[in-house]
Amino acid sequence: MKPFCAAVDWGTSRFRLWILAEDGAVIHKLSSDEGLQFSAKIGFSKILEDHLNSFKCLNDLPVIICGMAGSRSGWKEANYLKAPVELTHIVENSVKIANTKRDIRILPGIAQHNANSPDVMRGEETQLFGMLFDKSNIVPTGTTTFCMPGTHSKWVTFENTRLQQFATFMTGELFALLSEHSVLKLSLSEHGVSNPTDPVFLKYVNKALSNPHEISTQLFSIRSSHLLGFTGLEAGHAALSGSLIGLELAGAFSKHGKPAHVTLMASGSLGDLYAAALKECNVEVTFCDAENAGRIGLYQAAKILW
């Protein structure tokens, strides 16, 4: 197959590259640790060109990029678009890298530009844009809510295909910090995982949902509960992830009201945990392919540009 473009999701910690054919099929792909901080030192152009050379790409193969490469500390700043916004605007507002032999564009992120609830995304807008074109998904009509779990989970509200508002929750980062670096580490089994059907997980989801203001003491209670013999080490992970996902739901529901239905852009065990927590609150859940949405979004942007 003849390459049509290269698509790059250049995140804080990960670099993902796909060489795509005219019809969107994947010819080559790679994933590495060459995220923002690494790349800023080595040079964005060098990293990209080295990979394209290794795939024997022609000098004029165009490249479409999303993510942190477009941040102020990235390759070239692609200014945030202001929400509410139609997602197609990310394509029109892509930023061109100057003085390069090939056409290289970076897609902008989206910002909620008000002092009371400021928020930003970079990369998720491209996943959402891809979701609109993925034939396996239903195109959103009316008011719809998307949940994108992760290090910094995003809750996004659409009005048809227009992104209206969104909120970021530090759930994944808090989980990593608390499970690896806090006193709670002593009450978590080393290779523990959370299981969506575990009653401990659901109990802590409910605790955080009913009393989110007590989260800071609920978290410490994971330690106390273990020290006093009420729970074992194996319950720690479930209690911690239940608490933090419950807190996220409490915040998301209060920001935009509790939706009857949420589209969950997640896969694997994290998606299962969120689905179980949402079902516990009587929210209907539809899964939506998160893994391919970014690549599809980049491809659709490339099709519009070239």
Query: Binding residues for its own copies, per CB under 8 A?
Result: 72, 80, 111-113, 115, 117-120, 152, 167-171, 173-174, 177-178, 181-183, 211-217, 219-221, 223-225, 227-228, 230, 244, 247-248, 250-251, 254-255
Please, which residues have CB within 8 angstroms of residue 242's CB and are 6 or more apart in sequence?
A: 194, 200, 201, 202, 203, 204, 205, 207, 208, 277
The pairing of strands 104-106 and 153-159 is: unpaired
Q: Would you say 58 or 227 has its CB closer to its own copies?
A: 227
Q: Would you say 212 or 294 has its CB closer to its own copies?
A: 212
Rounded least distance, CB 200 to its own copies, Å:
12
Q: Would you say 161 or 165 has its CB closer to its own copies?
A: 165
User: Terminus-to-terminus CA distance in the chain, angstroms?
Assistant: 18
Q: Are 151 and 175 in contact (CB under 8 A)?
A: no
Rounded least distance, CB 162 to its own copies, Å:
21
Query: What is the helix (H) or strand (E) element at residue 121, kind and residue range?
Result: strand 119-121
Rounded least distance, CB 96 to its own copies, Å:
23
What's the rounded Cα separation, in Å, for the pair 11 and 72?
A: 13
DSSP 303: H
Q: Would you say 19 or 209 has its CB closer to its own copies?
A: 209
Rounded least distance, CB 246 to its own copies, Å:
10
**3 state SS of 97:** coil
Q: Would you say 137 or 187 has its CB closer to its own copies?
A: 187
Query: What is the helix (H) or strand (E) element at residue 16, kind and residue range?
Result: strand 15-21
Rounded least distance, CB 167 to its own copies, Å:
5
